[in-house]
């Protein structure tokens, strides 16, 4: 308790209920309320209620179940549908009532906040975990009778805590609670440990106390909520009520017998009744597919945030100031603003509702010995031929299909596993064709061969008429390995407008080698991984193909070996601007035997023109180097002339040499202009030639 005080037993004798202050709160006796019904949809059949038997169940592979109740009713009826709390949202989302003679059916249910809000609304508030002292403190002002050694009557003034007497050992004890009462004799304080019982004088408080205890008891012992369906009417009629709630996914397992002349497939469905009701004579359907399924919180109340706006009431006018005016307006004119009205139209989009598929009685295909198969929209449904009896909290294995199927034994070799390295044994398998006329759900397959267990296999969803490989062991008498190589080859070369396009093929080659050490020939399916963006070059055809695999059918002779080669080609394209190539790069393409002769001949002419450019560049460079040297020598002589003076003998010599250098520089400048023109002509000839090639 909050104050840590060990209260003595307090008894409140109200309608047979007992309230203890030592151990909290307990409830005994009878009373209705939430949680009294079973936790699945079962009509209780109590007074004032009408039972509607459960007739049909459809279990879906998406984790939900469709329940349908059917029965006859008379006049106005109430039907209670209890659900586990986790199923209420789905029930509210999917509940369908079919009563053509009820003018105004309705469904009511306690909301998620019903218990708390109801307790808060009572005069005696037990919505929180409080002790007796706090309970009485909250009832300040109420009339009460306290029984100690005598009866004390008065009105509650309050509760206080006083220090307890210190024991001889000196250790303090918890404070003691005292109840203060206003009595005709005055205010009187009574220690809680002296109180044996008390009663409230107001019958309304006693009634609220009983109701609060009922609510708390029922909410503690029940994990269900009840939907109450009221069907007003004045005649006898047949009705149905259906809904979808969460349920365990139904499962399937198969047995495949290869020992017979005609292989035989048998399938069993495993279902679970995890509810609190028995399935008595229920029509059971098992639906496979992948429908959209989700949960939306429809059960708890939902509130939205809204803005708070100020009250639209009169207020004080705003203070204003005014500037001086002119005698004459200096800026006359202006037109009055036109009034505009804007009207907003609300647009509502109608939501499409998805109706739950209802099991259809049409037989799909031929007569089955176990279950009837039918299409249910885009899904597939198995309906058991006989009603099902399955007690609550029990599971059952029910016959689903059985019949002859087309099977061919085969070995399956994984090229991907072999590529990881080493020798690999192929899997023992079978090529199974679904001739049952049904879409078979995914599940495990137990394979029997030679009159005994042979291994386990798995199948995914298996449409009718489709062929599927299953494997259930390894064949240790057959070995396989693979070697890989990658090469490139030029497939085409074109030149246009100075751009050379080289088309190559990247060739991935895998060589498989198989050795059959047994005394009998065997059929083998080779699964070769597909290379994206590549085409199959060798062999020219395949047995089957998936999104990621080629399958090739091979025959292995008894005691022999076999080699099988698979080539895949991936196209590669390279574009080269010839004008940007250097001399050596051009020369390398001319000598490349993979390049066609016509292209190599054209590139050879380009090499010659590119050589002339190089020669012109060399000649121009030599002239420019010589000019640089002459200018440097002229500058040196000029500095010497300034030092010697132009009137001296040495100065006169410097003047003569400078004049000679000027003549040579003029001649070199003329030669350089000619060399630059030659280089430009050579470059133009090269560019024009490259642009004219069209091969």
pLDDT of 334-344, one tens digit each? Answer: 443 333 333 33
Paired with 402 in beta bridges are 266
DSSP 141: T
498 phi and psi angles, rounded to 5 deg = 80, 5
Rg (CA), the chain: 50
Cis bond upstream, residue 539 (ω within 30): yes
Domain that holds residue 611: 583-692
Q: Are residues 501 and 605 in the same domain?
A: no
Residue 289's region, left for phi above 0, alpha for psi from -120 to 50, else beta, is left
Is residue 230 situated within a structural domain? no
Q: Are residues 574 and 495 in the same domain?
A: yes
Q: Are residues 514 and 622 in the same domain?
A: no
Element of type H or E holding 469: strand 467-474
Nearest to 630 by CA among 604, 576, 669, 680: 669
Q: Are 545 and 511 in contact (CB under 8 A)?
A: no
Q: Are 413 and 529 in contact (CB under 8 A)?
A: no
Last residue in a domain, options 474, 495, 530: 474
Last residue in a domain, options 459, 474, 489: 474
Report residue 457 as tokens: 């296999």
Q: Are residues 607 and 685 in the same domain?
A: yes
Is residue 594 situated within a structural domain? yes
Is residue 339 situated within a structural domain? no
Report residue 21 as tokens: 């202050």
The reported pTM is 0.59
How would you class 275 by CB atoms within 10 Å of its CB: exposed for 0-12, middle for 13-18, buried for 19 or more?
buried
CA distance 161 to 175: 6
Number of domains forming the structure of the chain: 3
Q: Are residues 489 and 557 in the same domain?
A: yes
Q: Are residues 264 and 376 in the same domain?
A: yes
Q: Are residues 265 and 401 in the same domain?
A: yes
Query: pLDDT value at position 347?
Result: 34
Is residue 133 situated within a structural domain? no
Q: Are residues 510 and 612 in the same domain?
A: no
Query: pLDDT value at position 247?
Result: 92
Q: Are residues 399 and 540 in the same domain?
A: no
Q: Are residues 527 and 465 in the same domain?
A: no
CA distance 488 to 569: 9
Cα angle for residues 239, 241, 246 (degrees, 5° grid) = 165
Is residue 173 situated within a structural domain? no
Is residue 139 situated within a structural domain? no
pLDDT tens per residue, range 54-85: 999 999 888 899 999 999 999 999 998 888 88
Q: Are residues 671 and 638 in the same domain?
A: yes
Q: Are 634 and 658 in contact (CB under 8 A)?
A: yes
CB proximity list for 657: less than 8 A, separation 6 or greater: 637
Is residue 302 situated within a structural domain? no
Is residue 551 situated within a structural domain? yes
Q: Are 247 and 65 in contact (CB under 8 A)?
A: yes
Cα angle for residues 309, 315, 318 (degrees, 5° grid) = 110
Last residue in a domain, options 410, 440, 474: 474
Q: Are residues 529 and 630 in the same domain?
A: no
Report residue 226 as tokens: 């009840």
pLDDT along the chain (695 residues), means of 10: 31 31 25 31 42 91 91 91 89 92 88 70 75 84 89 89 68 80 90 87 86 73 81 91 93 91 90 88 87 82 81 60 45 40 34 34 35 56 85 91 88 89 86 86 91 90 87 92 91 87 92 94 93 92 90 93 94 87 83 84 85 88 89 85 79 82 87 90 86 84
Q: Are 108 and 230 in contact (CB under 8 A)?
A: yes
């Amino acid at each position: 308790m909050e104050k840590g005080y060990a209260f003595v037993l307090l008894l409140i004798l109200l309608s047979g209920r007992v309230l203890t202050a030592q151990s909290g709160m307990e409830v005994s006796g009878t009373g209705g309320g939430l949680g009294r019904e079973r936790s699945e949809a079962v009509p209780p059949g109590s007074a004032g209620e009408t039972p509607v038997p459960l007739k049909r169940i459809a279990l879906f592979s998406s984790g939900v179940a469709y329940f349908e109740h059917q029965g006859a009713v008379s006049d106005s009826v109430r039907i209670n549908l209890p659900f586990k709390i986790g199923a209420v949202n789905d029930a509210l989302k999917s509940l369908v009532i079919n009563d053509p003679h009820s003018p105004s059916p309705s469904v009511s249910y306690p909301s998620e906040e019903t218990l708390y809000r109801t307790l808060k609304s009572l005069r005696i508030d037990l919505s929180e975990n409080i002790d007796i002292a706090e309970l009485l403190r909250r009832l300040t002002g109420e009339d009460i009778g306290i029984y100690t050694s005598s009866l004390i009557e008065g009105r509650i003034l309050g509760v206080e805590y006083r220090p307890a007497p210190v024991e001889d050992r000196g250790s303090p004890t918890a404070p003691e609670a005292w109840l203060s009462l206003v009595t005709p004799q005055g205010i009187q304080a009574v220690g809680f440990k002296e109180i044996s019982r008390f009663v409230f004088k107001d019958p309304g408080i006693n009634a609220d106390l009983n109701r609060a205890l009922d609510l708390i008891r029922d909410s503690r012992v029940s994990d269900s909520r009840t939907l109450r369906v009221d069907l007003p009417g004045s005649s006898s009629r047949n009705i149905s009520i259906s809904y979808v709630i969460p349920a365990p996914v139904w499962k399937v397992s198969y047995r495949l017998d290869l020992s017979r002349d005609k292989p035989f497939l048998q399938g069993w469905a495993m279902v679970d009744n995890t509810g609190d009701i028995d399935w008595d004579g229920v029509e059971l359907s098992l639906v496979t597919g992948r429908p959209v399924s989700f949960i939306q919180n429809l059960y708890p109340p939902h509130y939205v945030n809204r803005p708070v706006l100020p009250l639209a009431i009169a207020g004080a006018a705003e203070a204003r100031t005014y500037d001086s005016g002119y005698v004459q307006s200096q800026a006359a004119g202006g037109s009055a603003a036109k009034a505009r009205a804007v009207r907003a139209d609300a647009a509502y989009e109608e939501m499409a509702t998805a109706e739950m598929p209802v099991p259809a009685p049409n037989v799909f295909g031929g007569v089955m010995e176990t279950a009837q198969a039918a299409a249910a929209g885009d899904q597939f449904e198995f309906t058991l031929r006989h009603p099902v009896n399955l007690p609550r909290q029990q599971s059952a294995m029910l016959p689903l299909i059985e019949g002859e199927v087309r099977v061919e034994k085969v070995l399956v070799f994984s090229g991907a596993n072999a590529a990881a390295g080493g020798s690999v044994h192929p899997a023992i398998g079978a090529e199974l064709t679904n001739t049952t006329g049904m879409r078979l759900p995914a599940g495990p397959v137990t394979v029997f061969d030679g009159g005994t267990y042979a291994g386990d296999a798995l199948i995914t969803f298996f449409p009718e008429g489709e062929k599927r490989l299953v494997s259930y062991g390894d064949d240790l008498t057959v070995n396989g390995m693979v070697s890989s190589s990658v090469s490139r080859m030029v497939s085409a070369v074109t030149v246009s407008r100075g751009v050379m396009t080289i088309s190559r093929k990247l060739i991935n080659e895998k060589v498989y080698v198989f050795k059959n050490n047994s005394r009998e020939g065997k059929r083998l399916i080779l699964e070769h991984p597909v290379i994206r963006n590549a085409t199959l070059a060798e062999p020219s055809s395949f047995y089957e193909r998936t999104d990621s695999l080629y399958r090739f059918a091979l025959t292995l002779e008894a005691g022999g070996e076999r080699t099988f080669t698979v080539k895949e080609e991936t196209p590669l394209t390279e574009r080269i601007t010839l004008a940007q190539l250097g001399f050596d790069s051009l020369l390398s393409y001319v000598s490349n035997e993979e390049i066609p002769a016509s292209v190599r001949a054209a590139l050879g002419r380009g090499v010659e023109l590119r050589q002339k450019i190089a020669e012109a560049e060399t000649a121009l460079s030599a002239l420019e180097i010589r000019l640089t040297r002459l200018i440097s020598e002229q500058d040196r002589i000029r500095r010497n002339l300034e030092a010697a003076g132009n009137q001296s003998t040495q100065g006169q010599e410097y003047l003569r040499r400078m004049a000679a250098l000027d003549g040579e520089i003029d001649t070199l400048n003329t030669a350089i202009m000619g060399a630059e023109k030659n280089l430009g002509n050579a470059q133009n000839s090269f560019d024009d030639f490259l642009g004219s090639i069209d091969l």
